Chain A
């Protein structure tokens, strides 16, 4: 889990670009960027499972939607709640759900893992869909954004659009750094080992089931964090947030962006969002065009959009490096995207 210097440069460029965006972009696109950054956090959380642990979940939206519902339940109509309480409740609920669901799911693998995660997510979907106290299929409104106070001092005003934008951007960067740190730590080495060869990892003395469960809980909790941000931002949560369609969308986002790169899924979220926005302006049959886009990326970019980023970084390193100084190893057939030495 190391990135070359040119890639780090490109990533920093992306962050600075996002930081400058509210000054240049319209209100509509600033709001769209917030949604895409939240989707990026959600996608990164799933990448921890798919790209680094080798577990393909088709029910990840369960944690995303659950956190939104928890925020809706704890926020009264009359007054906002403190973000410290709200965040703790949302993350704890997601983590507990991930513990309960993951404890069973990690006992399976392959297609069974996919099906069982989908089954659990659908159970939660129907629970909220049939629950009239929580708005059933219409969903439920969240009337106030949480307050960010320390004592009586207001630290941030999340009702301010720009403040919320930078709060989301900071969250995106923090989640990226947090996951990068996890992946460089001994825990990260073990889960990457599990992805490459679980039997081998076990034969080295690691209880792989336990590591997979921890990875599932971290991933579910971060998905819950994304769900908390989405519910705070939109002021609304509905069963659709935890349905299979949402889980499929985020899975596709990770695959399009580039599995096992962390930054790739963020790129995937932006690509999906921007394409959707452009195609909707072009035709009523924009979903057809989205289909063509997805097929094109899968066919021509086997490492996802992150593969383009890695190529760009390679070109940059060629520009920066003195001639004849290259020490890159020969390209391997099964190179892992984004993990160049």
Chain B
């Protein structure tokens, strides 16, 4: 019997009020793989993430995590199944200090796995170790983003979703974040990445999916898209 996909979406339709945003999205992500979710602004990438997490539950369709349906589960139960999110806009808690932000999220993973204890997370993000007592609103943008990634790791996730993890950051800081993401991938965590830096994304990813107006228009191995500038031009405008 084959191992179920880490994450599988089938014919997902999501609405914001009367607006139909996702029109039957579907893709599947094998365990340990990294997927780039691509598309211009407003094509439904963040809505896909919100649908997976139950923050904007799908009206129709099916979402599975390791073979278990999660479509109608509340957000906190979905998170407890091993999903972690680094949200667009960072979403750190400004009224907690770095240590509190991290310790608050600490949870053992599947079967009590503790791959990411606090000291390992701080080794990965040494800047946070230096600012351990600083409040979230006293951190720079890069440090806040690092904190958001580190906090997600503290949940010992099986699947990590990074939504615009390097948005609005200086090139040097972006480089640092990408280096952290590469090390996370090397640790074997299944991940979905959404970002503007398509070349770096594709160099990290195994697979890619392009969304246009809430539909999957292209799904292929990442190296195939990297070698197809006409697809870039057609769907991503670059």
Contact = CB atoms under 8 A, between A and B. Distances in A.
Contact of A195 (B95, B100, B136): B95
B137 interface: yes
B79 to A, nearest CB: 4
A203 B93 contact: no
Contacts of B53: 203
A60 interface: no
A186 B80 contact: no
B75 A199 contact: yes
A149 interface: no
A206 B103 contact: no
A332 B137 contact: yes
Nearest to A208: B76
B155 interface: yes
Contacts of B133: 341
A329 B105 CA distance: 24
B93 A200 contact: yes
Contacts of B84: 204
A181 to B, nearest CB: 15
A336 B85 contact: no
Nearest to A207: B76
A330 B138 CA distance: 7
B66 interface: no
Contacts of B91: 197, 199-200
Question: In the complex, which range does the number of interface residues on chain A fall in?
Answer: 20 to 34
Contact of A196 (B75, B76, B79, B95): B95
Interface in B182-218: none
A205 B107 contact: yes
Contact of B104 (A193, A203, A260): A193
A203 B85 contact: yes
A297 to B, nearest CB: 22
Interface string A179-202: 000000010011011011101101
Contacts of A203: 53, 55, 75-76, 79, 85, 87
Contacts, number: 81
A329 B138 CA distance: 7
B151 interface: yes
A285 interface: no
Contacts of B55: 199, 202-203
A334 B94 contact: yes
B56 to A, nearest CB: 10
A339 interface: yes
Looking at chain B's contact residues, is the secondary structure mostly helix, strand, loop, or mixed? Answer: mixed
Contacts of A329: 134-135, 138
Most buried by A among B74, B80, B91, B134: B91
B15 to A, nearest CB: 18
Contacts of A199: 55, 75, 91
A321 interface: no
B55 to A, nearest CB: 6
Contacts of B74: 202, 207
Given A186-B104, A197-B93, A205 B76 contact: yes
B135 A339 contact: yes
Interface in A185-240: 186, 189-190, 192-193, 195-197, 199-200, 202-208
- Residue with the highest number of chain A CB atoms closer than 10 Å, among B85, B96, B103: B96
Contacts of B34: none
A228 B23 CA distance: 58
Contacts of A333: 137
B97 interface: yes
Given A196-B95, A339-B95, A202 B138 contact: no
Interface of A: 186, 189-190, 192-193, 195-197, 199-200, 202-208, 260, 329-330, 332-336, 339, 341
The 6 closest A-B pairs by CB, nearest first: A205-B79, A329-B138, A332-B137, A189-B104, A202-B75, A200-B91
Given A200-B91, A339-B135, 8 more contacts: A190-B104, A193-B104, A202-B79, A203-B55, A203-B79, A206-B76, A329-B138, A341-B135
Interface of B: 53, 55, 74-76, 79-80, 84-85, 87, 91, 93-97, 100, 103-105, 107, 133-138, 151, 155
15 contacts: A189-B104, A196-B96, A197-B91, A199-B55, A200-B87, A202-B55, A203-B75, A203-B85, A205-B80, A207-B74, A329-B138, A330-B138, A332-B94, A336-B135, A341-B97
